[in-house]
Amino acid sequence: MDAVVTVTHPLDPLSLAEIASAVALLRDSRKLAPTVRFPIVRLEEPTKADLAAHRLGGTLPRLAFILAMDIGNGETFEGIVDLTSGEVASYERLPLDQLPYGQPPVMLCEFETVEGTVKSDPRWIAAVKKRGVTDEDIPLIQIDPFSSGYFGRDFEKGKRIVRAVSYWREDIRDNGYAHPIEGVVAVVDLIANRVVDLVDDEKIIPVPRKKRNYGRETFPETRPDLKPLHIVQPQGPSFTVDGWKVEWQNWSFRVGFTPREGLVLHELGIKDQGRLRPVVFRASVTEMVVPYADPTANHYWKSAFDAGEYGLGRLANSLELGCDCLGHIHYFDVPAADDLGQPFTMKNAICMHEEDYGILWKHYEFRNGIFEVRRSRRLVISFFATVGNYDYGFYWYLYQDGTIQLEAKLTGIIQTAAVATGETYPWGGMVDDNLGGPTHQHFFNARLHMDIDGGGNTVTEHDFVPRPWGDDNPYGNVFDTRTRVLKRELDSPALANGETGRYWKVSNPNIQNSVGKAPGYKIVVMPSPVMLAQPESTVAQRGGFAKKHIWVTAFDASEKYASGDYPNVHAGGDGLPRYVMQNREIDNADVVLWHSFGHTHVCKPEDFPIMPVEYAGFTLKPNGFFASNIAMDLPPEANGHSIDNRLPQSPEKIGSGSCCHT
């Protein structure tokens, strides 16, 4: 169930021992220098075809993917280590010094060196002093290394850089984002460890000094009228866990985790009439990008690709019992590698528990007095990642009726901009005195390697359209469903349309369901924006996946991420827009469904100092997959801890009975 589990399945994450062994094999065989670091160490996963052969008795090598970068000269290599044979299967240099460039994700060890590099630069010291910062202030100034974007400048081409912004603090526990030092941006070459460019805007805006802290000492008086709310499962949870495999309410899946994506669900299927039916072979969030709409010096370049430029899995939180998750919790500890390639355990990185989710189905028949209701319960599998100022939760939900849902939770601290007294902030919203919040967007992309009932799958696009008046519509009330089969990859990039109720269905055309149709699942999208940056802008070129809601590709093991492999300081043109240009056949094929979704954030005072959670996501719902409502067999027992607050009741009378009347 955690980092110490002995490997029992080819999809299990690398164990601590395997991480140590893989790194040692690579170090020894290639005689790596002491300056080599390891931004990524993960399982090189077997494909669907590999696993099918394995189930028939074939053997699978245990492979580790290792990204090795020499911080002395920037040279980067991709290695595959065969742990089964004890050999390095491949070790190839990446041409990151050539167009379209790109860099490995920024490492924590590099974050730690940037502050000293910036604070020792005399140009930066002079710039912050213009804004009222003193020598005594400098030790406490917060330096945020931020992924730099790409604009074709010489110091960006093939270089490993970050742009660093600064925040004044009077105390180490102060919220630095309340005190941005506007108009000063240091560009740091992480290989040379020096500032290669410094922006010092001519317009001098004083540093906002009003404190907006959020530590618990800031609010010594808390609400006294909040009563305890306990979630109790006296007989334990309804799920079972065997290593990384989970079973719950007919669902079966395997838990995975990678440094870039974080939580992964493998081989997600559901039992139906005694048979396990595949639904999704692999599900994860492969990328997200946050472009900002402020053209000024501190902000125009901000467009963090939080998965590809940092690694959502590498930045996962250690979750706190009773705070991040409530109820009867099962935590997964995750084996990981630090920047030096040394194995360590990410404690409580994944949380799994059950939640009540209101009414699942209900009907009251007044003619015969039958009253039936069943409550919905869902299984929650989640993790949280903190990427600089923002915190993102990723919650997969499984429901008893066969529904699958992903919900992204956005919280944390907004980026801020200093505003001169008497002026307003034109690029977003004012959140406090002399403090603006830049308008920005958050885009996520989920990669769903579909496997509806195994075999080939087909994706269709559906719209509801009114039927014209005529003999077949004499009253004008008829509307139709217009269906389009996505035959090739360039058929697939599409936008959602609430007016027509557009949805997409993934089905298996090789099988018939109970009514003679192809069994399938449909993706139900939430209202979601697309990237509003101009198509020719560098952020749109680098994050082209966010220009459409839906993409479908033929499976290719090398096409793992919506933005491509290395979006950091990348010139653009990679990822989904490039994948679909191959225009491969996707009808009755091994297909990957990609969904981009997100949130446009116009900042307001209520977002500060900590932003209340915003939600974004989507749902996969069975559509002709089952012969009937599969949740009809749920037990009708009433909750035994519910009470009528109007009446004093003894414990033995609390919540007794059934959720039905006949």
CA atoms within 13 A on the CB side of 261: 25
Number of separate domains in the chain: 3
Q: What is the C-alpha to C-alpha distance for residues 562 and 551, in angstroms, rounded to an integer?
A: 10
Q: Is 154 a catalytic residue?
A: no
Residue 239 resides in a domain: no
Taking only the tens place, the pLDDT of each residue in 223-263 is 999 999 999 999 999 999 999 999 999 999 999 999 999 99
Enumerate the β-bridge partners of residue 316. Answer: 385
Q: What is the C-alpha to C-alpha distance for residues 535 and 573, in angstroms, rounded to an integer?
A: 11
- What phi-psi label fits residue 149: left (phi over 0), alpha (psi between -120 and 50 degrees) or beta? left
- Whose structure tokens read 């985790």? 257
Taking only the tens place, the pLDDT of each residue in 379-390 is 999 999 999 999
CA atoms within 13 A on the CB side of 623: 17
Q: Which of 101, 150, 292, 390 is catalytic?
A: 390
Q: Which of 306, 401, 453, 590 is catalytic?
A: 306
Contact 272, 628 (CB under 8 A): no
Q: Would you place residue 1 in the very low, low, confident or very high pLDDT band (cuts 50, 70, 90)?
A: very low
Q: What is the C-alpha to C-alpha distance for residues 125 and 198, in angstroms, rounded to an integer?
A: 11
Pair 45, 126 in one domain: no
Q: What is the C-alpha to C-alpha distance for residues 178 and 418, in angstroms, rounded to an integer?
A: 9
Pair 62, 177 in one domain: no
Q: Would you place residue 656 in the very low, low, confident or very high pLDDT band (cuts 50, 70, 90)?
A: low
Pair 195, 49 in one domain: no
**Mean pLDDT value of segment 557-580:** 98
Q: What is the C-alpha to C-alpha distance for residues 114 and 185, in angstroms, rounded to an integer?
A: 13
Residue 338 resides in a domain: no
**Mean pLDDT value of segment 580-600:** 98
pLDDT at 129: 98
CA torsion, ordered 26, 32, 38, 43, to nearest 10 deg: -10
Range of the domain at 64: 16-94
Which residue, 35, 63, 94, sits at the end of a domain? 94
Tokens of 249: 């309410």
Which residue, 57, 72, 94, sits at the end of a domain? 94
Residue 383 resides in a domain: yes
Pair 554, 417 in one domain: yes
- Whose structure tokens read 């060890």? 109
Pair 154, 77 in one domain: no
Pair 523, 431 in one domain: yes
Taking only the tens place, the pLDDT of each residue in 405-456 is 999 999 999 999 999 999 999 999 999 999 999 999 999 999 999 999 998 9
Taking only the tens place, the pLDDT of each residue in 444-466 is 999 999 999 998 999 999 999 99
pLDDT of 291 strictly over 80: yes
Q: What is the C-alpha to C-alpha distance for residues 106 and 127, in angstroms, rounded to an integer?
A: 26
Q: What is the C-alpha to C-alpha distance for residues 145 and 111, in angstroms, rounded to an integer?
A: 6
Pair 46, 124 in one domain: no
Q: Would you place residue 144 in the very low, low, confident or very high pLDDT band (cuts 50, 70, 90)?
A: very high
Pair 89, 117 in one domain: no
CATH classification at residue 613: 2.70.98.20
How high is the mean pLDDT of the chain? 96
Residue 228 resides in a domain: no
Taking only the tens place, the pLDDT of each residue in 183-196 is 999 999 999 999 99
Residue 656 resides in a domain: no
Tokens of 55: 């189930």
Contact 64, 343 (CB under 8 A): no
Q: What is the C-alpha to C-alpha distance for residues 76 and 69, in angstroms, rounded to an integer?
A: 4
Q: What is the C-alpha to C-alpha distance for residues 622 and 632, in angstroms, rounded to an integer?
A: 15
Phi, psi of 607 (to 5 degrees): -85, 0
Pair 112, 89 in one domain: no
Sheet containing 435-438, strands listed edge to edge, beginning at the edge strand earlier in sequence: 417-418, 435-438, 428-432
Pair 65, 155 in one domain: no
Residue 314, C-beta contacts closer than 8 angstroms, at least 6 positions apart? 105, 108, 259, 260, 336
Q: Is 338 a catalytic residue?
A: no
Residue 324 resides in a domain: no
Taking only the tens place, the pLDDT of each residue in 336-376 is 999 999 999 999 999 999 999 999 999 999 999 899 999 99
pLDDT of 503 strictly over 60: yes
Pair 508, 579 in one domain: yes
Residue 4 resides in a domain: no
Pairing type for strands 428-432 and 591-601 reads: unpaired
Contact 548, 562 (CB under 8 A): no
Burial class (CB within 10 angstroms; exposed 0-12, middle 13-18, buried 19+) of 210? exposed
Q: Give the residue from 462, 313, 466, 436 showing the smallest Cα distance to 385.
A: 313
CA atoms within 13 A on the CB side of 554: 14
Which residue, 94, 118, 141, sits at the end of a domain? 94
pLDDT of 660 strictly over 80: no
- For 413-429, letters b (16+ CB in 10 Å) and e give bbbbbbbeeeeebebbb
pLDDT of 653 strictly over 80: no
pLDDT of 491 strictly over 60: yes
pLDDT at 204: 97
**Mean pLDDT value of segment 161-183:** 98
Q: How many CB atoms lie within 10 A of CB 554?
A: 19
% of the chain at pLDDT higher than 70: 97
pLDDT of 8 strictly over 90: no
Residue 259 resides in a domain: no
Taking only the tens place, the pLDDT of each residue in 527-564 is 899 999 999 999 999 999 999 999 999 999 999 999 99
**Mean pLDDT value of segment 136-153:** 98
pLDDT of 624 strictly over 50: yes
Pair 163, 62 in one domain: no
Contact 634, 361 (CB under 8 A): no
CATH classification at residue 36: 3.10.450.40
Enumerate the β-bridge partners of residue 480. Answer: 465
Taking only the tens place, the pLDDT of each residue in 53-76 is 999 988 899 999 999 999 999 999
